[in-house]
């Protein structure tokens, strides 16, 4: 089934975001690829999309989601290009890990600004521009926003805030716009593999042994959850959809 919608995927130069952008383009949607600084990688994502589905179906807009002016310019560019915006996927994220007693203000502020303030700004600007009903916002959270973890006080706090922010937005923006959260578990991306040393066979085996579905997740698993929320889940809002192979049950 083809869908004539315009989707912004923040932080889509690599990892989950890049897969979401490419796979959503496969469904007939027009896609806005966003990055703050990884322009070369983002250009490659756009090229892969346009080579497959046409040059008019994807654009790249660089914007730091933590900066209001840059986000406004991104949305203005999207409206000028496509005339509307239907879906916002808040995927952009940043990790600056460190022990709690050594984490400085810059590490704290940068991660909170990108992972929590960014989705807030993007959602506001989306809501102000989306016309009619049927709008969708999907926030990409993390299980550690509930469980916490060592050396990630900034990241975990931001993701915890994002989960609650989604509930607040869902109440305020309904029924015009639905807002849901997708919370991945351990997903096989370069960032996760490196951060948790999962390229080491022993570490990888130990990690997978604790996951009931006996494997790491893939970005495709996240795409399928997003596709569900964009499709038949029209009566869902304010919900948190866990995609983690049973590693964390809530």
Residues with active-site annotation: 155
CB-CB contact of 219 with 15 (8 Å): yes
- In the DSSP assignment, the letter for residue 200 is S
Q: What's the CA gap between 64 and 92, in Å, rounded?
A: 9
Q: What's the CA gap between 66 and 81, in Å, rounded?
A: 23
CB-CB contact of 16 with 222 (8 Å): yes
Q: Where are the beta strands (DSSP E) in 43-176?
A: 58-62, 87-90, 135-140
- In the DSSP assignment, the letter for residue 114 is I
- Peptide bond connecting 80 to the previous residue in cis, omega within 30 degrees of 0: no
Distance of CA 218 to the CA centre of its chain: 14
Please calculate the CA angle 222-173-7 and round it to the nearest 5 degrees: 40
- Peptide bond connecting 142 to the previous residue in cis, omega within 30 degrees of 0: no
CB-CB contact of 182 with 244 (8 Å): no
Give bridge partners of residue 181 from the DSSP assignment.
139, 240
Gap between the terminal Cα atoms of the chain: 32
Question: How many residues make up the chain in this entry?
Answer: 250
């Amino acid at each position: 089934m083809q869908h004539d919608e315009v989707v912004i995927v923040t932080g889509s130069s690599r990892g989950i975001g890049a897969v979401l952008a490419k796979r959503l383009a496969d469904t007939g949607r027009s896609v806005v690829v966003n990055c703050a600084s990884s322009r070369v990688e983002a250009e490659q994502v756009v090229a892969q999309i346009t080579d497959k589905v046409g040059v008019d179906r994807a654009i790249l807009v660089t914007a730091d989601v933590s900066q209001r002016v840059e986000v406004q310019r991104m949305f203005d560019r999207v409206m000028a290009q496509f005339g509307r915006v239907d879906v916002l996927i808040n995927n952009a994220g940043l990790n600056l890990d460190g022990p709690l007693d050594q984490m400085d203000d810059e590490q704290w502020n940068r991660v909170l600004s990108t992972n929590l303030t960014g989705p807030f700004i993007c959602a506001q600007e989306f809501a102000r521009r989306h016309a009619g009903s049927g709008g969708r916002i999907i926030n990409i959270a993390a299980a550690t926003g509930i469980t916490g973890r060592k050396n990630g006080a900034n990241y975990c706090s931001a993701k915890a805030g994002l989960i609650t922010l989604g509930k607040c937005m869902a109440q305020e923006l309904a029924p015009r716009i639905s807002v849901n959260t997708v919370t991945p578990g351990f997903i096989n991306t370069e960032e996760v593999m490196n951060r948790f040393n999962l390229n080491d066979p022993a570490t990888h085996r130990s990690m997978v042994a604790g996951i009931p579905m006996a494997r790491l997740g893939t970005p495709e698993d996240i795409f399928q959850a997003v596709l569900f929320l964009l499709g038949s889940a029209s009566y869902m809002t304010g919900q948190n959809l866990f995609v983690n192979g049973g590693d964390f049950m809530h």
